[in-house]
Chain A
Amino acid sequence: MEILLAIMTGILYAAGIYLILRRSLVKLIIGIVILGNGVNLLIFLMGGLVKGRPPLIPEDGNALEGIYADPVPQALILTAIVISFGLQSFAIVLIKRAYKVLKTDDIDTMNKTDDIT
Chain B
Amino acid sequence: MKSLILKTVSKTLLPLLILFSVFVLLRGHYLPGGGFVGGLIAAVAFILHAFANGLPETKKLLRIHPGFLIPIGLTIAILSALAPIILTGDPLMTGLWQEQDVPVLGKIGSALFFDMGVYFVVVGVCLTIIFTISESV
Contacts and interface: CB of A to CB of B under 8 A. Distances in A.
Interface of A: 54, 56, 78, 82, 85-86, 89, 93
Contacts, number: 13
A69 to B, nearest CB: 12
B32 A86 contact: no
* Contact-residue bracket for chain B: under 10
B1 interface: no
Given A82-B36, A82-B122, A56 B133 contact: no
Given A78-B36, A82-B36, 11 more contacts: A54-B32, A56-B30, A56-B31, A56-B32, A82-B122, A85-B126, A86-B125, A89-B129, A89-B133, A93-B129, A93-B133
Contacts of B30: 56
Interface string B30-51: 1110001000000000000000
A56 B126 CA distance: 28
A82, A86, A93 — most chain B CB neighbours (10 Å): A82
A47 B2 CA distance: 45
Contacts of B133: 89, 93
B128 to A, nearest CB: 10
Interface of B: 30-32, 36, 122, 125-126, 129, 133
Contacts of B36: 78, 82
A93 to B, nearest CB: 7
Contacts of B129: 89, 93
A57 to B, nearest CB: 8
Nearest to B129: A89
Nearest to A86: B125
A78 B129 CA distance: 20
Q: Can you list the 6 inter-chain pairs with the closest CB atoms, starting with the nearest?
A: A89-B129, A82-B36, A78-B36, A93-B133, A56-B31, A54-B32
13 contacts: A54-B32, A56-B30, A56-B31, A56-B32, A78-B36, A82-B36, A82-B122, A85-B126, A86-B125, A89-B129, A89-B133, A93-B129, A93-B133
Nearest to B35: A82
